[in-house]
């Protein structure tokens, strides 16, 4: 669906971990214009310098809570990747109002402004925590996912199509447990919630590649889910911080023992596209949603459940590589 060499692209949250991986990839793909939208001035200036003031970049200071600013930023945009969010479970638990305003109201603002501006392809980055959410972060991301998918109905006959990508924890992203352990390991002690908990993992490069390939393939109304391996927290800790003493705290408020990428109760049909799944909600825009346009797509049996306690394990050599990083 996308033609990067001709498309103007906007990334909300473009200065974050994912944005930092997406931006060089998009510049390398030849985008003519790439806008970053976020609040922090310092992060934008630093990024501008790191990318040697590439003339294709535009930096918009703005909050996703601000509709007027979003409307201005979307002029001339063909593809929008919505990555801005409050993403820490504990932060959202403690500041529910702020989480709603940024993650839920912000998502609705993006959808409304994108439809009004005629942005063609609009993709939100979601999380496994949005599936059967136990914490406030997950609940806000579930709302945001649904706001996006349902946005197709409001786009009507206009050019805008909206979809979501949903994946697990990103290795080494800002504030991730791997980043925390890498900082702590020199001290000989690391903090661990529950060693038996399991999580899905994806690298930043894989996440960026996945998002861009979904922007290419989306028709409107899908939730794309990559096929990801998982680890126990214990195995990950042994790889990233071997020989360290564990300070055990127990799961934090709202944390699950195991995560779910696709629940057996997802509304809609799940299709296997080889390297990923596409969940087609009843709000998928294309008339032929029972016969999707992706070559080789196979419809999964109803009740498919993808959970981190039963998923394939992250291969040993990959764990070792994360440990060395």
Ligand X SMILES: NC(=O)c1ccc[n+]([C@@H]2O[C@H](COP(=O)([O-])OP(=O)(O)OC[C@H]3O[C@@H](n4cnc5c(N)ncnc54)[C@H](OP(=O)(O)O)[C@@H]3O)[C@@H](O)[C@H]2O)c1
Please give the residue ranges that form the binding site for ligand X (CB under 6 A). Answer: 12-13, 15-19, 38-40, 43, 63-65, 83-85, 87, 102, 106, 125, 127, 141, 167, 169-170, 173-174, 176
CA torsion sign, 172 to 174 to 177 to 179? positive
Rounded to 5 degrees, what are φ and ψ at 92? -70, -35
CB atoms within 10 A of CB 313: 13
CB atoms within 10 A of CB 161: 23
Minimum CB distance to ligand X smaller for 7 or for 128: 128
Of residues 87, 81, 106, 85, the one with CA closest to residue 162: 81
Minimum CB distance to ligand X smaller for 73 or for 115: 73
Minimum CB distance to ligand X smaller for 16 or for 221: 16
Q: Give the shortest CB-288-to-ligand X separation in angstroms.
A: 30
Q: Give the shortest CB-123-to-ligand X separation in angstroms.
A: 11
Q: Give the shortest CB-165-to-ligand X separation in angstroms.
A: 8
CA distance linking residue 148 with residue 117, whole number of Å: 16
Of residues 182, 203, 202, the one with CA closest to residue 191: 182
Q: Which residue is nearest to ligand X (CB)?
A: 16
Q: Strand, helix or coil at 112? A: helix
Tell me, yes or no, if 129 is annotated catalytic.
yes
**Annotated active-site residue in 129, 141, 146, 256:** 129
DSSP string, 190-201: EEES-TT-EEEE
Minimum CB distance to ligand X smaller for 198 or for 269: 198
If 0-12 CB within 10 Å is exposed, 13-18 middle and 19+ buried, where does residue 31 land?
Answer: buried
Q: Give the shortest CB-11-to-ligand X separation in angstroms.
A: 9
DSSP string, 127-185: EGGGSS--SHHHHHHHHHHHHHHHHHHHHTTSS-EEEEEEE-EEET-TT-HHHHHHHHG
Minimum CB distance to ligand X smaller for 13 or for 323: 13
Minimum CB distance to ligand X smaller for 63 or for 235: 63
Provide the CA 100 distance to its chain's centre, in angstroms.
17
CA distance linking residue 300 with residue 100, whole number of Å: 33
Q: Give the shortest CB-66-to-ligand X separation in angstroms.
A: 8
Q: Give the shortest CB-80-to-ligand X separation in angstroms.
A: 13
Any idea which residues carry the catalytic annotation? 129
């Amino acid at each position: 669906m996308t033609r990067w060499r001709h498309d103007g692209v906007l990334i909300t949250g473009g200065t974050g971990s994912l944005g930092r991986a997406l931006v060089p990839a998009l510049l390398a793909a030849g985008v003519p214009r790439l806008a970053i939208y976020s609040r922090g001035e310092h992060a934008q200036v630093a990024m501008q310098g790191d990318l040697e003031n590439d003339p294709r970049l535009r930096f918009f200071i703005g909050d996703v809570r601000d509709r007027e600013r979003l409307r201005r930023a979307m002029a001339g945009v063909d593809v929008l990747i919505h990555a801005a969010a409050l993403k820490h479970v504990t932060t959202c638990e403690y500041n529910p109002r702020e989480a709603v305003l940024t993650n839920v109201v912000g998502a609705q603002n993006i959808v409304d402004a994108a439809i009004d501006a005629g942005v063609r392809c609009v993709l939100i980055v979601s999380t496994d925590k949005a599936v059967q959410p136990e914490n406030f972060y997950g609940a806000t991301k579930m709302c945001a996912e649904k706001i996006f998918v349902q946005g197709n109905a409001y786009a009507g006959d206009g050019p805008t199509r909206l979809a979501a990508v949903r994946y697990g924890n990103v290795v080494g992203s800002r504030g991730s447990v791997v980043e925390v352990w890498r900082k702590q390991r020199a001290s000989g002690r690391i903090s661990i919630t529950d060693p038996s908990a399991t999580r899905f993992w994806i690298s930043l490069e894989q996440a960026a590649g996945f998002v861009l390939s979904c922007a290419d393939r989306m028709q409107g109304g899908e939730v794309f889910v990559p096929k990801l391996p998982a680890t126990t927290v214990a195995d990950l800790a042994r790889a990233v911080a071997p020989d360290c003493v564990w300070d055990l705290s127990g799961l934090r408020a709202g944390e699950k023992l195991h995560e779910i990428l696709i629940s057996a109760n997802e509304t809609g049909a799940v299709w296997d596209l080889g390297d990923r799944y596409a969940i087609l909600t009843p709000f998928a825009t294309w008339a032929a949603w029972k016969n999707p346009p992706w070559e080789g797509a196979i419809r999964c049996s109803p009740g498919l459940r993808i959970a981190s306690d039963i998923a394939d394990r992250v291969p040993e050599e990959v764990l070792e590589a994360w440990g060395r990083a």
